[in-house]
């Protein structure tokens, strides 16, 4: 293909201040996602002192907390990690939908890159698969997506 002007984000997290918002609900899954996000960011140059972990009750509370973090302007990006599991959640759809919708709104309103690492699965096995086993670690993916987006936004 002919050369065209291309803008893309370098995966360099050096100097980036990042808030990681993690729900306590299903914490044995979520802790793996937090670990993945921290690992991904520090391996790409972020310093631990620039990372702040915010623990909250559940995925439903995530948008409000992300909104406050974004409004504080103390962070270059936010990574949200949680696990909403249908099998154990009669109100799965409400929690999952409100969480995703609210976080997208925060990202747009504040122009802040937000990595969405909230698992929404039918059962526990699928959640385990995405928390550091055969389907990877969605905390890693969310952190990397936030990082790439932050570096793209800085050039626009
Ligand atoms: N919160 C989650 O993060 N994951 C879930 O699977 C879940 N379930 O199963 O209900 C869940 N519910 C709690 C919810 O996020 C709120 O914390 C709660 O309703 C209080 O507002």
Question: pLDDT tens-digit profile of 32-86?
Answer: 999 999 999 999 999 999 999 999 999 999 999 999 999 999 999 999 999 999 9
Atom 8 (ligand 1): residue with closest C-alpha? 89
Which DSSP state fits 81?
Answer: E
Q: What is the C-alpha radius of gyration for the chain, rounded to an integer number of angstroms? A: 15
Residue indicated by tokens 């302007």: 73
Q: Which of 60, 81, 131 to mutate to test the pocket of ligand 1 (most atoms within 8 A of CB)?
A: 60
Predicted structure pTM score: 0.96
Distance (Å) from CA 59 to ligand 1 centroid: 6
Task: Please check the confidence at residue 98 and state whether its pLDDT lies above 70.
Answer: yes
Q: Which of 59, 65, 117 to mutate to test the pocket of ligand 1 (most atoms within 8 A of CB)?
A: 59
Q: Does domain 18-153 have CATH number 2.60.40.60?
A: no
Residue 28 in tokens: 């044995």
- The rounded distance, in Å, linking the Cα atoms of 77 and 111 is 10
Output phi, psi for 77, to 5 deg.
Answer: -165, 160
- The rounded distance, in Å, linking the Cα atoms of 58 and 56 is 6
- The rounded distance, in Å, linking the Cα atoms of 28 and 44 is 25
């Amino acid at each position: 293909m002919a050369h065209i002007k291309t803008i893309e984000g370098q995966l360099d997290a050096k100097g980036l201040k990042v808030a990681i918002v993690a729900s306590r609900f299903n914490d044995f899954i979520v802790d793996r996602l937090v670990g993945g996000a921290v690992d991904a960011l520090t391996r790409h140059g972020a310093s631990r002192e620039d990372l702040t972990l915010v623990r909250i009750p559940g995925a439903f509370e995530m948008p409000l907390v992300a909104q406050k973090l974004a409004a504080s302007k103390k962070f270059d990006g936010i990574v949200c990690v949680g696990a909403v599991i249908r099998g154990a959640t009669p109100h799965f759809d409400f929690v999952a939908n409100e969480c995703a919708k609210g976080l997208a709104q925060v990202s747009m309103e504040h122009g802040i890159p937000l990595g969405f690492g909230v698992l929404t699965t039918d059962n526990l096995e699928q959640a385990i698969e995405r928390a550091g086993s055969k389907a990877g670690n969605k905390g890693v993916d969310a952190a990397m997506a936030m990082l790439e987006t932050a570096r793209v936004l800085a050039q626009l």
